[in-house]
Amino acid sequence: MKGTAYLRRYWQLYALLILPVSYFIVFKYGPMYGILIAFKDFNFFQGINGSEWIGFDGFREVFAMPDFYKVLRNTLMLNFLDLIVSFPAPLFLAIMLYELKIVWFKKLSQTILYIPHFISWVIIGGIVYQVFGTQSGMINNIITSIGFDAIPFLTDKKDWLITYLVVGVWQSAGWGTIIYLAALTGINKELFEAADVDGAGRLRKIWSITLPSLKPTIVTLLIINLGHMIAIGFERPYIIGNTAVRDYADVLSTFVYRIGIESGQYTIATVVGLFQAIVGLVFVLGANYTSKKLADQSIL
């Protein structure tokens, strides 16, 4: 097929792309020159163009900070734990919801399960202290009343990790089910009928019908998640974290906020951001490649 013929055949598809691609160019690539701040001694009044070049001095400064390696380690550690615990949680929950027989209960629980996603972290933080506090937290009140020692859920580093994960699952699992539930609507019901005829049990059906139909969604989410292993939200570690557990709770985002934004050192903030972006891109490309080889699915 000649080029013009190819175009005549597919021009509509390209036409559809014009606006979205323009959006990315204007709103995402337009401001991208801001990355230059990483290589400049940024002065607010000279602007990005007027500030002086410093080459890689900003990187050298960041890599020389003792705290940088600590927050980098913590970021990877918290994200890895999340990947093991919080990533599969919505999947399980979605399958459990899908298996519910009573329709009204199913719809009602779906709606309620995603409420925590709508409660702001500031408020969650207050509730977390009331629930997990050592002196008068609800859980510890129960533990001490049956004669055990209070557990410092918030002030001991290792116990805090559990608190962090539990709150994370609680806050996001219900919300995460929505996408899986959407995918589950695509299952051909006849497959279940056929399985019934074969006498397959419930777990068997989940394993061989439900899960496979979710595979594309799982793989896509997993790849994107891996790309974000080095990025971490600000609010959850910041709000649930506290001074006593800063050895674990201090992460890249809180580090950047403190050093970069609060102290007005935009060069440092940009350097860390750029570092995260490069590592993230490498991660996502690696995950994409692996998935293409292993599961014959990729996002690129």
Partner 1 sequence: MRDRHASRTFDAINTIAILFFVLLCLAPFIHIIAISLSSSRAIMSGEVSILPVEINWGAYEQVFSDMSMIRSLGFTVMLTVLFTVFCMLMSIAAAYPLAKTKLKGRKSVMFIIVITMFFSGGIIPEYMLVRNLNLLDSIWSLVLPGLISPFYLIILITFFQNIPDSLEESAEIDGSSYFRTLVSIIVPLSMPVIATLSLFYAVGRWNGFTDTLMYITSPEMYPLQLKLYQLVQNNMVSELMSAEGASGVQLLQPESLKAASVIFATVPILIVYPWLQRYFVSGVMLGAVKG
Partner 2 sequence: MKPNKRGRKTASTLLTATLAGTMLISACSNSGGNEKANESTGGEAASGGKASTLKVEVFDRGNSPAGSSITKNYLTQFVQDKFGTPNNINVQFVPIPRSEEVQKLNVLMASGSDVPDIVFTYDSGTFYRYAQQGGLTDLGELLDQYGPNLKKFLGDETLAYGQYEGKQFALPAKRSHLGKYSSFVRQDWLEKLSLPVPTTTDELYATLKAFKEKDPGQTGGKVIPLGMSLAPAQYEPLIWSFIEPVTDEQRYTLTQQLGSRDYPVLLPGFKEALQFMNKLYNEGLMSADFSLDEDKKKLNEDAAKGLVGFFSEDDMNPFYPDGLYATLQKNIPDAKLSAVDVYTNSEGKHPKPEYAPIGMFLMIPKSSQHAVEAIKYLDWMASEGNLFDMQNGVEGENYTLQDGVPIVKADAADEVKNRIYNYGDMAIISNGKQLGDADKNVEAYVVGMPEAFQEETRKALSVSRSDTIKPVLFDRPIEAQAKYGTALLDKFNEIIVKTTMVKPDQFESTFESVMKDYMANGGQAILDERTKAYEAMK
Span 252-291, contacts to partner 2 by CB under 8 A: 258-259, 261-266
Q: Is 6 or 207 the residue whose CB approaches partner 2 more closely?
A: 6
CB of 15 to partner 2, least distance (A): 10
Range list of β-strands (E), the chain? 40-41, 52-53
Q: Site residues for partner 2, window 161-190 (CB under 8 A)?
A: none
Does the footprint of partner 2 cover residue 66 (CB under 8 A)?
A: yes
Q: Site residues for partner 1, window 14-53 (CB under 8 A)?
A: 14, 16-17, 19-21, 23-24, 26-35, 37, 48
Does the footprint of partner 1 cover residue 100 (CB under 8 A)?
A: yes
CA 37 to chain centroid, in Å, comes to: 26
Cβ proximity of 136 and 81 under 8 Å: no
Would you give the DSSP letter of residue 51?
A: S
CA 252 to chain centroid, in Å, comes to: 14
Q: Site residues for partner 1, window 212-241 (CB under 8 A)?
A: 216-217, 220-221, 224, 227, 231
Cβ proximity of 116 and 170 under 8 Å: yes
69 binds, among partner 1, partner 2, none (CB under 5 to 8 A by kind): none
109 binds, among partner 2, partner 1, none (CB under 5 to 8 A by kind): partner 1
Burial of 15 (0-12, 13-18, 19+ CB in 10 A): exposed
Q: Site residues for partner 1, window 132-171 (CB under 8 A)?
A: 170
Does the footprint of partner 1 cover residue 259 (CB under 8 A)?
A: no
| Neighbouring C-beta atoms of residue 177, cutoff 10 Å | 25
Angle (nearest 5°) at CA 285 between 279 and 291: 135
Does the footprint of partner 1 cover residue 294 (CB under 8 A)?
A: no
172: tokens are 């996001």
Does the footprint of partner 2 cover residue 225 (CB under 8 A)?
A: no
Q: In Å, how far are 24, 117, 230, 231, 239 from 254, measured between CA atoms?
A: 28, 21, 13, 11, 10
The span from the CA of 239 to the CA of 259, in Å, is 18
CA 134 to chain centroid, in Å, comes to: 29
**Near partner 1 by CB under 8 A, which window of 57-65, 75-83, 103-111, 151-159?**
103-111
CB of 66 to partner 1, least distance (A): 26
**Site residues (CB under 8 A) for partner 2?**
1-7, 10, 14, 17-18, 21-22, 25-26, 30, 43-48, 65-67, 126, 129, 133-136, 154-155, 242-244, 246, 258-259, 261-266
